[in-house]
Amino acid sequence: MMWPKSKNTKKVSLAGLVVLITGAASGIGAATAKEVVSQGGIPILVDCDAQPLARVAAQCGEGTLSFVADVTQLSAMQDVVAQTLSLVSRIDVVFANAGVAAFGPVAYVDTQAWQRCVEVNIMGVFNTVRSALPALMQQRGYVLINASVSSFAHPPAMSAYAASKAAVEAMGNVLRLELAAHQVGVGVMYAGWVRTPLVEEGALHPGFVRLRATMPKFLNKETSAQDTARCIVRAIAKRQRAIFIPGWLQILFALRALLHLPFAERELLKAAPEIEQSYLQGLASEGALASSFGPRERERTLARNSQHLEGP
């Protein structure tokens, strides 16, 4: 199938394109799924949370395909791809969006939370892309990886998130070179603060609030998930290699080598001891897991632990 083109360059169309989206039950993923539908595309929704995923699928319209799967499991993503191909015959676009965040200084952060963040954010992207690549090659499709501004800006207490996002940025850059001969496009997305449950949960942690207080107002401005989704769909239609949300982040990206020089780290250095103290207070009162994960991922972790204890 040929990629749709619009006579009006200001409009985009994904007419008939099959777009597989991970992390589709909330935030950027859910908003993107709805925007794909509005532009004539066919979203394939993947998430580990069954009930919110079903709600988003219903909002996207009758016949929308959705799969409950953990992106950290390669076999699960292979099954998603196989079922998708059996039902709609192709995959044109993959948006590897699923991600979680772990918070806390390296010396104290819950090790299970740190590992889970890396597994979801790195292995989840690998498993998603690896599973879909044969189908994407056949369609000469497009891969978009959500790398975040944290791939090049690395604040204290965010080591797992920053490390994982830097890794998938690198993965995307490598993929672009590897897949060019197969005529598969690869884009890396760099978003700042997007108003999603992930960011809203961060506001519940005093250390995270202190971290954001180090930033000037223009760096703290949030973009809505809906506006972000519109940017994403335009980028997919144009097969862009880099997407900056908001657009001025491209300037920060160009200056990334300066971000960790002493003058740029001054405010973060002042804040780091306060962030650590805030984390330790939470550690004492709430425990390591509660201090390191937001409510949703904490519940998922407890559920996984319970299943593991119960056995098959």
pLDDT tens-place string over residues 132-190: 999 999 999 999 999 999 999 999 999 999 999 999 999 999 999 999 999 999 999 99
Residue 103 lies in a domain: yes
Residue 1 lies in a domain: no
Residue 239 lies in a domain: yes
Residue 299 lies in a domain: no
Structural domain boundaries, residue 150: 18-195+222-253
Written as tens digits, the pLDDT of the chain (312 aa) is 556 765 554 567 899 999 999 999 999 999 999 999 999 999 999 999 999 999 999 999 988 999 999 999 999 999 999 999 999 999 999 999 999 999 999 999 999 999 999 999 999 999 999 999 999 999 999 999 999 999 999 999 999 999 999 999 999 999 999 999 999 999 999 999 898 877 777 676 778 788 888 877 777 788 999 999 999 999 999 999 999 999 999 999 999 999 999 999 999 999 999 999 988 988 888 887 777 777 777 788 777 776 655 665
Residue 29 lies in a domain: yes
Residue 81 lies in a domain: yes
Residue 203 lies in a domain: no
Give me the number of domains the chain comprises.
Answer: 1
CATH of the domain at 248: 3.40.50.720
Residue 74 lies in a domain: yes
Written as one string, the DSSP assignment of the chain is -PPP--SSTT----TT-EEEEESTTSHHHHHHHHHHHHTT-EEEEEES-HHHHHHHHHHH-TT-EEEE--TT-HHHHHHHHHHHHHHHS---EEEE-------S-TTTS-HHHHHHHHIIIIIHHHHHHHHHHHHHHHHT-EEEEE--GGGT---TT-HHHHHHHHHHHHHHHHHHHHHGGGT-EEEEEEE--EESHHHHHHTTSHHHHHHHHTS-HHHHPPEEHHHHHHHHHHHHHHT-SEEEESTTHHHHHHTGGGTTSHHHHHHHHHHHHHHHHHHHHHHHHH-HHHHHS-HHHHHHHHHHHHHHHH--
